[in-house]
Structure 1
Amino acid sequence: MLRRFFLYSKGPTIMLAFLVLFLAALSRLIPHVNHAVAFNFTAVGAGLLFFGSRRPRWQTVVAVAVMALMDVYLTTQVYSYPFHVRAYLVTWVWYAAVCLTGSALLRKVTALRVVAGVLASATSFFVLSNFVVWAGSGMYPHSMAGLASCYASAVPFYVNDLISTAMVSAVLFGLPALAVKMREEQSVAGRV
């Protein structure tokens, strides 16, 4: 059972999904520790897409647990705030949704599917997280103008999240495709 847990992928990428998940969690931690969160440039969206595309759907629980533990650590240890589960429920549902979106890529990874995953990941986080900020805090008036102001204020964060998710996804999904193409070309050249 445990062997099947880790060996779902074949070949040299057996542990790659877990390594990417670990690096995505670190990319969430490092900006907060260095107080550089204004950039919102992380590998979380791309890492969850990649993990979801390489692991069975049920292992979404693993990815959500890793990212949730990072949220608990950041809240309680880095910022010394009390932790409230309800404050993170939407984020944890988003983590799961991105992993499951990645599992849709598992059938056949194409550039169009990766682009769709990137857009869905970054845009859904932008829409959900800012709606929760608007609805659940006193930062913005609870009116349409307040909602519009909340979203407008978050556009720079959205742009950086979209760029970082696209760049990391291009590397994670593009490099294996490039390696396969190069291997095929070497095989054809070897037969000639």
Structure 2
Amino acid sequence: MIAKFKPTWMVDTVYNISPTQLKEHGIKAVLSDLDNTLIAWNNPNGTPELRKWMADLHQAGIPLIVVSNNSAKRVSKAVRNLNLPFVSRSLKPLSFGITTARKRLGLKKSEVVMVGDQLMTDMLAANTAGVRSILVKPLINTDKWDTQINRFFEKFVMKDLQKKYPNMKWQEDLND
């Protein structure tokens, strides 16, 4: 059961995931959580690093789609300045949102990766959907109240994962 939470990779930040490395792994599209993965949950404007990473993905022909549990109104407002497509009310940890985004792109499971900052939602949803995943560290150390509950339980899940998979470690990038 604990394997359902295991990420394929653990990378410090989304900005370190290079399009070249994604292509080396056969990845043609990135699906990403929104809050504390792409943007700080309390700062929807994003950062210059995010905009550069998005431009690098675009230049490499790798689409980026936000897969969020938030409402369409909330996600639309958050990504308006970033001009990103999205799937709202994705029902993570269920696979619904990931599968919807993948099918929208017409890609196989092996051709997409889900990026997120939570084991309990993002990684579990990716594994349930049968796609690879990248766990990133949250952009900031504060969360909305509902996410704080997940973070509490996540500590125990991470401890069990590291016990079962001792080689599981944070990496600088996908090839570290």
TM-score calculated relative to the size of structure 2: 0.36
Higher normalized helix content (fraction of residues)? 1
Higher normalized strand content (fraction of residues)? 2
Higher relative contact order (Cα pairs below 8 Å, separated by 6+ residues) = 2
TM-score calculated relative to the size of structure 1: 0.34
Larger radius of gyration: 1
